[in-house]
Structure 1
Amino acid sequence: MALLKLVFLFFLISFSASAQKDYKLWLQYNVVNNSALVSEYKNNLGGIIVLGNSETIRIAQKELQTGFENMLGTILEIKPNIKGENNLIVGSQLDLSSEIKSELQVDLDKINNEGFIIKTISLKNKKQIIITGKNDVAVLYGVFNFLRILQTNKAVKNLNITDSPKINLRILNHWDNLDRTVERGYAGFSLWNWQKLPGFIDQRYIDYARANASVGINGTVLTNVNANALILTPQYLDKVEALANVFRPYGIKVYLTARFSAPIEIGNLKTADPKDPEVINWWKNKAAEIYKQIPDFGGFLVKANSEGQPGPQNYGKDHVDGANMLADAVAPFGGVIMWRAFVYSEHDANDRAKQAYAEFQPYDGKFKKNVIVQVKNGAIDFQPREPFHPLFGAMPKTPLMMEFQITQEYLGFSTHLVFLPKLFQEVLESDTYQKGKGSTVAKVVDGTLYQNKLTGIAGVANIGNDLNWTGHPFAQANWYGFGRLAWNPHLDSETIADEWLRSTFSNDENFVKPLKNMMIESREAVVNYMTPLGLHHIMDTGHHYGPGPWVSNLSRPEWNPTYYHKADKNGIGFDRSKSGTNAVSQYAPEVAKLFDNLETCPEKDLLWFHHVSWDYKLKNGQTLWNGLALKYQGGVNQVKEMQNVWKKSEKYIDSERFNEVKMLLEIQHEETKWWRDACLLYFQQFSGKELPEAVEKPTQTLEYFKSLKFPFAPGNG
């Protein structure tokens, strides 16, 4: 019995340690093993001088002490003033001495209100590292960035960093429902325990805020875009206020989704018409009520007249009428309206990809100044690859907010390792040509292309109450990477992968280099084994788990995968050229010309814009059929190689996380073969051609794959 108790205790300790590593995300603060660096760090960090006493500054101080103790084994003394040695001085511009302020004036002029400075200066013949900004939250951002320097084992001699976020609104969109289910959530239930709020503040809320602040995320939309009006009732606003109070010291504002029909559902009105005086007054009163409880409330995110959600079109009004009515309600309090452009209608089944542009572009310049239109990265729906959305650059008088999906709805859920910052970067670097060459999507989003003052970027969160937050240890990198790109949309995804690996696992170059390459390649692998050469939306319908290119029996044409690939005996692909739906015309002339011509259209987008013969010769000399089949096989091979890379990493990390990822990669590899076999067997019916020799032959029939059903796939509704 004593032995059993000892074994059980050992299990608990081991499980607790591994769970803690998973839970810590990229804030592991692992011991620095490089003795020369440790010596350098300690020589430059004699003590900490903390200026100010706000809750935010106290959080910054605690973070520094935690980081130093874990990484250096040192508890640095908190000192009241400079005493003839090297120190770390932390505080906002308002609390700096005139001597330090004078030394930093040029740098202070460079940063915005959320920007920070990390700089080594000389005072009293000693080097002092200053972390400062124009307010305490900016200082907190600086502290996290300074700790990242230590985490990634970089030198701290003669630091000279000035950095400001390039985007105002850096926001997570939680598709969380009030019953704690999460639409398209693959990491457990919602973080928000509405039943226990406002009285019970889970430690997870604090740790969530801390993780977001560490990458500069400054806003969170707590509720699903498929909104429930109850969130706007007094009972729930008390709960929202409790969360806002937790998040405030970390610089995070709360936002809510506004159900357009709320005046009827919770206000006892007979209409939600945005032109009706009673409706206008109801929203103004509701906004005043919210801001009285939560003075820094961010505003509303709205999904209207899309996928069954109510909106102004129910009353013969348009998006401008709806958005501007809500904008007037929150304007006196500094609030914003994020109005989603994700719209498509069963009444316009010509080409779903054209609908958002057709509906919103004519409204350019008509929205109030505190409205920002939130546009998905592509014109369909968060596919493994889509050309950039044609609205980017096409509305010069309207701020456009990027919407990325961090949760992997169409990319294998949280079972597949897919490094999404590579996808995000591809979109942000795309050139719209709207003001000539160099008019990138990133410049639209950060406001520099058209000098928009209101800027934003949103990520549909992949966070749940799983121990590791995101369902897959590597899915944490997508949350991290989103935050880094929201701060600076011009960052390189390779830099982000490098930072994340070093902060999360190890600084050993023998670990970092191959794993970084694996992460960078992982997105292309998923495109290859799911939707190569511009194929899209061929996932099984509803839950979007696994392939379903054969589905054609749903009531709305654009809900069926057959609508998107249009495979027949003549070929495959959706013709969006001038001779097809002419979706290419929604882009600037230079881009339209590129996409329209079969010979110049990038092969990665080929079947997005063209219906192509099975015998069409690709640039590598292969026929389209052979090339498509080899892409599917290539994706399978890439994931097999990912498994090999991961196996070699075992000695660099803890066994718990190693085994966790190992098992998930095994699942992913099996599912790549499912995708390859199901899709190729289906498309082979139309091509009538044999598979190339290099492609493994299916071991199941097409009928078998069609028979698979997943009524309880996670995240569906």
Structure 2
Amino acid sequence: MQIKHFFRPITFIVYFFALTLTASLSWAQFYFAGEDGYRLWLKYDELQDQTRKKHYQKQLQSVLVEGQSPTSEVIRQELSYALRGLLGKALPNKTSIANHQLIVGTPQNSSLIAELQLAELADLGKEGYLIRKQKVRGKTVTVIAANTDIGALYGTFHFLRLLQTQQSIDQVSIVSAPKMDLRVLNHWDNLDRHVERGYAGQSIWDWHKLPDYQEQRYYDYARANASIGINGTVLNNVNADPLILTPQYLEKAAALADIFRPYGIKVYLSVKFSSPQLIGGLKTSDPLNPEVQRWWQEKAKEIYSIIPDFGGFLVKANSEGQPGPGDFGRSHAEGANMLADALASHGGVVMWRAFVYANEKNEERSKQAYSEFKPLDGQFRNNVLVQVKNGPIDFQPREPFSPLFGAMPKTPLMMEFQITLEYLGFSTHAVYLGTLFKEVLDSDTYAKGAGSSVAKVIDGSLFNNNISGIAGVANIGTDRNWTGHIILQSNWYVFGRLAWDHQLSAREIADEWVRMTLSNDAEVVATVTDMMMDSREITVNYMTPLGLHHIMDEGHHYGPGPWIKDLGRDDWTSVYYHRASPSGIGFDRSPSGVNAVEQYFPPVRDLYASPETIPEEFLLWFHHVSWDYKTRSGRTLWDELVHRYYQGAADVTAMKNTWNSLQGKIDPYQFRQVQMALGIQEKEAYWWRNACVLYFQSFSKKPIPTGLEKPQGTLEEYMKLKFPHAPGQGK
């Protein structure tokens, strides 16, 4: 495989044709010569800082990549492509030592690295690496060393990141290893290429053309993931089609696995629990039935004969109508263990989702995952991870962390974040999720006293778990820019960076991404980074301030719908969650209500139990309070709620104006893409503001606070809006 140029010859043919047809070249230059976002953060454009470029050229006169594996060849290609772009010239791949040379390899494939006897490698495992200025046989060189070729690849991408962000490499000394074992993207992609909760086009997997037609996009997907340390991909939707386990589709999955393998990426599959019945011809899928157990064992054997490094299964069971062990009176542990036993001898794992809720249990929805899984702690096989969503409901703009984190010390818990913006404006709202991810990861569970962060639960360090992991529901599609919005590429990026090292800050990752994707110009970096860091809080304000949640429109989840009621079950409605009435608003999950706070360890439990002590961002999540309740700003709850809705919408206008001030400093195609999306976001922020304020005003009966304009439109007009073809709906 060779890395191809991102702009193909046809582009230039069309560009030339356009130039001959117009006296004004601006539109042709915009549409045909701009940066369209396909290259993500791996642009490798020539450095404009001539002093920095010459300094790098002096230090990187030649390259030596040791090893003959497919991964070593990938490293050679990436370095050749990147350094030729960044430095403006090709570098020779030397076979002998020279001053200022770059050497990449492992002690096993490089005698030069072996003789250095780098003691730090002993603690870096299979994926860690070091980057260091080092004397080698009397010559000063930059060494990228690891225990494996995959580790060397990760180190290579880190080194290139230093160059892209124009960091000094004069005295570089970096030692890095991932804090979590499994760092996985979950693709909610169906075999017909529809993406559930996908807002950037179809699935990038062209199942019909696979296994023979292997698109360049598959290789670039692998490069992008490897560059941020992602080492696994679940190819298909958790609402799984059993056909994925048939020989026809396993062969297709194997073709992708072959492409991804040199990049350190394993393939996983979501499986339907009832597959033995649906494609195996059995009369049952009972996990304790010997025939069913044998079927899964044979299926695992078949998979590994086709994909030797297959990662394992992701399972959604007994949730939202999906079949599971509960259909046969069995527990989640019994279902997961049956699959785990089938995979164990091959080295595979089971990622068993804890997203379960059922209205027949007559228990408040936010409590059900905890109630279902905590009693099973210690009953799962050691190759099972329970995959828990970051909050107790469903990827809301803001949620408290799930109380399951810290509650199952004998079971590895795997974080599930949503990278795609199902509840945050799809692919037209600029919402950087680094702040959301960090808010959750840094939350203290107090499971073993102060300092028991969610991050320490999922990285295995708090309870000394044998395996650890984190998953992100992907926002990737066939749009040229991958994610439907340039800024939203940053959420894929920040997920990978935090999966590798959750101690990094959201700001430093945003800074990296801006420099690599948009510009190294100081004004652009500072301005866009500030925008990104503010964007999530802005969105919470115009959608769900003060702990409101689940008030989007039904089904497609597009736009506001706080009035949604009378659906098939109460916990699918909005009114179930906000409980607005003439007396007040909010869901009472305190000890005087459904007592969801009891699932948290003290002092979190005590903090959340009282309206006076709870962080105000969770006030209405845990408490039903009067419209006249005095908030910490001194305003009544009604006035504070309205002010936050108005502030959020106004801040989107300010964000749009800030972006417009950067015109001429960002590639015009990138600039225009984001500018158009911000225009949509602005309209929809005011839509959210007006619709929600008018709806809640129908209960509070209070005036709009002095100094704020009256909301445009009427509540009836907003309630009549319908969007039957909004993208990303389930099928």
What range is the shorter-chain TM-score in? over 0.9
From 480, 505, 520, the equivalent of 2:518 is: 505
Return 5+ residue gaps in structure 2 as ranges: 1-15
Alpha carbons 1:349, 1:558 under 8 Å: kept:
no
User: Equivalent residue of 1:327, what SS?
Assistant: helix
* Cα deviation 1:170-201 (Å, max 9, x = unaligned): 00000000100000000000001011001100
Aligned to 1:487: 500
What is the CA distance between 1:320 and its match in structure 2? Answer: 0.7
1:159 aligns with 2:172: yes
User: Equivalent residue of 1:380, what SS?
Assistant: coil
From 107, 119, 131, the equivalent of 1:93 is: 107
- Whole-angstrom distance in 2 between the partners of 1:18 and 1:407: 29
- Whole-angstrom distance in 2 between the partners of 1:237 and 1:12: 46
From 18, 21, 27, the equivalent of 2:42 is: 27
What is the CA distance between 1:7 and its match in structure 2? Answer: 4.4
Aligned to 2:90: 75
Aligned to 2:569: 556
What is the CA distance between 1:92 and its match in structure 2? Answer: 1.9
Alpha carbons 1:529, 1:636 under 8 Å: kept:
yes
Alpha carbons 2:34, 2:667 under 8 Å: kept:
no
Aligned to 2:722: 709
What aligned pairs does 1:246-257 form with structure 2 within 5 A after superposition? 246-257=259-270
What is the CA distance between 1:109 and its match in structure 2? Answer: 2.2
- Whole-angstrom distance in 2 between the partners of 1:226 and 1:694: 49
1:543 aligns with 2:556: yes
From 60, 81, 96, the equivalent of 2:75 is: 60
What is the CA distance between 1:348 and its match in structure 2? Answer: 2.9
1:295 aligns with 2:308: yes
Aligned to 2:12: none
Alpha carbons 2:107, 2:113 under 8 Å: kept:
no
* Cα deviation 1:361-383 (Å, max 9, x = unaligned): 00000000000000000000000
Aligned to 1:110: 123
Aligned to 2:4: none
Amino acid at match of 1:451: N
User: Equivalent residue of 2:361, what SS?
Assistant: coil
- Whole-angstrom distance in 2 between the partners of 1:456 and 1:538: 31
Aligned to 2:55: 40
What is the CA distance between 1:101 and its match in structure 2? Answer: 3.2
Amino acid at match of 2:215: D
- Whole-angstrom distance in 1 between the partners of 2:484 and 2:456: 33
User: Equivalent residue of 1:147, what SS?
Assistant: helix
Alpha carbons 2:19, 2:28 under 8 Å: kept:
no
Q: Which moved more, 1:630-639 or 1:299-308?
A: 630-639
Alpha carbons 1:182, 1:189 under 8 Å: kept:
yes
- Whole-angstrom distance in 1 between the partners of 2:115 and 2:17: 67
What is the CA distance between 1:104 and its match in structure 2? Answer: 4.8
- Name the CA shift for 1:626/1:229 in 2 (closer, same or farther; >3 Å): same
1:459 aligns with 2:459: no
Alpha carbons 2:179, 2:502 under 8 Å: kept:
yes
Aligned to 2:231: 218
Aligned to 1:642: 655
What is the CA distance between 1:18 and its match in structure 2? Answer: 5.0
What is the CA distance between 1:106 and its match in structure 2? Answer: 2.2
1:528 aligns with 2:541: yes
* Cα deviation 1:83-132 (Å, max 9, x = unaligned): 4x2200011231232x6435352221231210011111012432110111
From 216, 227, 233, the equivalent of 1:203 is: 216
- Whole-angstrom distance in 1 between the partners of 2:40 and 2:708: 39
Alpha carbons 1:418, 1:522 under 8 Å: kept:
yes
What is the CA distance between 1:15 and its match in structure 2? Answer: 6.2
Figure out how many residues of one structure are paired with residues of the other and give that number: 715
User: Equivalent residue of 2:549, what SS?
Assistant: coil
Aligned to 1:321: 334
* Cα deviation 1:40-80 (Å, max 9, x = unaligned): 21121120011111111111111111111111102111111
User: Equivalent residue of 2:554, what SS?
Assistant: coil
User: Equivalent residue of 1:639, what SS?
Assistant: helix
User: Equivalent residue of 1:118, what SS?
Assistant: strand
Alpha carbons 2:585, 2:627 under 8 Å: kept:
yes
- Whole-angstrom distance in 2 between the partners of 1:591 and 1:401: 21
1:351 aligns with 2:364: yes
1:129 aligns with 2:142: yes
* Cα deviation 1:595-642 (Å, max 9, x = unaligned): 001110000000000001100001110100000000000101111111
Amino acid at match of 2:106: S
Amino acid at match of 1:459: G
- Whole-angstrom distance in 2 between the partners of 1:374 and 1:3: 52
- Whole-angstrom distance in 2 between the partners of 1:187 and 1:278: 42
- Whole-angstrom distance in 2 between the partners of 1:478 and 1:685: 37
From 283, 294, 298, the equivalent of 1:270 is: 283
Alpha carbons 1:215, 1:484 under 8 Å: kept:
yes
User: Equivalent residue of 1:347, what SS?
Assistant: helix
Alpha carbons 2:108, 2:114 under 8 Å: kept:
no
1:431 aligns with 2:416: no
Aligned to 2:634: 621
* Cα deviation 1:536-563 (Å, max 9, x = unaligned): 0000110000000001110201000000
What aligned pairs does 1:566-645 form with structure 2 within 5 A after superposition? 566-645=579-658
- Name the CA shift for 1:19/1:470 in 2 (closer, same or farther; >3 Å): farther
TM-score calculated relative to the size of structure 2: 0.96
Return 5+ residue gaps in structure 1 as ranges: none
Alpha carbons 1:630, 1:694 under 8 Å: kept:
no
- Name the CA shift for 1:479/1:8 in 2 (closer, same or farther; >3 Å): farther
- Name the CA shift for 1:16/1:253 in 2 (closer, same or farther; >3 Å): farther
Alpha carbons 1:304, 1:310 under 8 Å: kept:
yes
- Whole-angstrom distance in 1 between the partners of 2:75 and 2:143: 13
* Cα deviation 1:266-307 (Å, max 9, x = unaligned): 000010000111100000000000000000000000000000
Aligned to 1:665: 678
Q: Which moved more, 1:32-41 or 1:163-172?
A: 32-41
Alpha carbons 2:113, 2:145 under 8 Å: kept:
no
* Cα deviation 1:441-495 (Å, max 9, x = unaligned): 0000111101112100000000000000000001100000100011111211001
User: Equivalent residue of 1:469, what SS?
Assistant: coil
What aligned pairs does 1:321-400 form with structure 2 within 5 A after superposition? 321-400=334-413
Aligned to 1:147: 160
- Name the CA shift for 1:508/1:104 in 2 (closer, same or farther; >3 Å): farther
1:699 aligns with 2:712: yes
- Whole-angstrom distance in 1 between the partners of 2:347 and 2:27: 49
Amino acid at match of 1:95: N
- Whole-angstrom distance in 1 between the partners of 2:551 and 2:54: 56
- Name the CA shift for 1:10/1:299 in 2 (closer, same or farther; >3 Å): farther
Alpha carbons 1:367, 1:398 under 8 Å: kept:
yes
- Whole-angstrom distance in 1 between the partners of 2:217 and 2:25: 25
What is the CA distance between 1:35 and its match in structure 2? Answer: 2.3
% identity of equivalent residues:
57
What is the CA distance between 1:656 and its match in structure 2? Answer: 1.1
User: Equivalent residue of 2:424, what SS?
Assistant: coil
